[in-house]
Structure 1
Amino acid sequence: MFRRPPRPRRAVEEADSNPVGPLLTSDTSDDLRVLLDEVDAAARAVYALHGLPSIPGHYRQAPDSDAWDPLGAALSPAEKWALLDQHPLNQGWRYASLEQLGQRSTIPDVRYASALMSACQGLRLRLETGMALSAQDLADAIRLGAAWRRLTEGGQSRSDLIFTAPHEG
């Protein structure tokens, strides 16, 4: 009675395929990676301007310290748990990836740079795994494009990033 008419077989096959697959050739995928790397580098430069690390990786911060110390790049999961046991969060130790370092900064440019790096990381993950793009990925890509345009316009400094995380705006 309220049955939907069946879709033609061709429409079903097209809907089940990766929606961005035909658009992402090897060349366009490489171009996107280059652009993501450039935006990411600009965001890392903002971190450096404000005394934060700018090398990708994981970091820890001791209680009553402003400095972030890099964790070993090749730590096994067991070694990471051992670090948490030796320096627990409830005693004031903080742990974060480079992208997360600036999330709670009191400096807006640093928060924006953090959001940029997180968006770049998410889009990079989609490109590397071939996962379909979500609505959030498309929103991130649009925001990254706007931030990139501001970065490349003449006379703008790298700290003039205007990018808000979804929960901020």
Structure 2
Amino acid sequence: MARRLSRLSALFGRGRAASPETPLSDPFAGFEPQPIEADAVDQALDEIEQGALSVYAAAGLPTRLGHYRRDPQDGRWAFVAARLTPEERFQLALDHPPEDGWRFARLQDLGLRETREDVRRAARLLNDIADLRAARHGPLTREHLLVALELGGAWRALRDAQAIRDSRLTLTPAAPPKARRTRDKRGGSH
């Protein structure tokens, strides 16, 4: 049997057949994983996210995904990290207590307490996007589908409101019609 394998290997140009004592070559040698291309869902979520972040930017809020803290002295949000463990967040709260005026939040939560409605809507969009992205790694439920549908409607409303606000068009009522002169039957005018 081994001799037949040896002949077949020689026939197909593979050299000698591997014996149990000969280590096999690494099957993954030379393999480079290809980046996963974004599908239509990822592209739609990215587009919605960019629109919501543009609302944040217009309101003077940060736009980099991650965790932030707000110093009670200057009132500005400062980037802390892209990701924090619960332990790290707890330690930050111990080091900078909320009782002293320090605030901590994720980017998607920064706009929830703003006075502008469009900023609050953008924050809700960012939260829904984060939830859907997290859910894509597990089984999607009916609740996820409802969130996705609501996200689409909210995105259209935000986009339309942004387009109206950014538009240079002004709508004014039409001028009232001019009075028409009437002619009588004899050809004269009144």
Q: Same fold (TM over 0.5)?
A: yes
Paired positions, count: 131
Among 133, 147, 160, the residue aligned to 2:154: 147
**Runs of 4+, deviation exceeding 4 Å:** 74-79, 150-153
TM-score, normalised to structure 2, is: 0.59
Higher percent of residues as helix: 1
Among 100, 108, 121, the residue aligned to 2:117: 108
Change (3 A) 1:139 1:75: closer
How do 1:22-37 residues align onto structure 2 when only pairs under 5 Å count?
30-37=39-46
TM-score, normalised to structure 1, is: 0.66
Say if 1:58 and 1:71, in contact at 8 Å, map to a contact too: yes
Cα shift at 1:152: 5.9
1:62 aligns with 2:64: no
State the percentage of identical aligned residues.
Answer: 38
Counterpart of 1:131 in structure 2 is 139
Say if 2:125 and 2:155, in contact at 8 Å, map to a contact too: no
Counterpart amino acid of residue 131 in structure 2 = G
| Partners of 2:101 and 2:56 in 1: CA distance | 22
Change (3 A) 1:97 1:157: farther
Change (3 A) 1:98 1:158: farther
CA RMSD of aligned residues (A): 2.8
| Partners of 2:165 and 2:147 in 1: CA distance | 19
Which runs of 5 or more structure 2 residues have no equivalent in the other structure? 1-35, 167-190
| Partners of 2:140 and 2:85 in 1: CA distance | 30
Which runs of 5 or more structure 1 residues have no equivalent in the other structure? 1-25, 160-169
Among 160, 163, 168, the residue aligned to 1:156: 163
Change (3 A) 1:85 1:34: same
Counterpart amino acid of residue 126 in structure 2 = M
1:94 aligns with 2:98: no
Counterpart of 2:12 in structure 1 is none
Say if 2:72 and 2:102, in contact at 8 Å, map to a contact too: yes
| Partners of 2:85 and 2:145 in 1: CA distance | 34
| Aligned-partner SS, 1:32 | helix
Deviations 1:21-69 (A, max 9, x none): xxxxx99x82101101110111011000000001101000012533100
Change (3 A) 1:157 1:121: farther
Say if 1:87 and 1:93, in contact at 8 Å, map to a contact too: yes
Change (3 A) 1:92 1:118: same
Larger Rg: 2
Deviations 1:98-123 (A, max 9, x none): 00001111110110000000011111
| Partners of 1:76 and 1:121 in 2: CA distance | 17
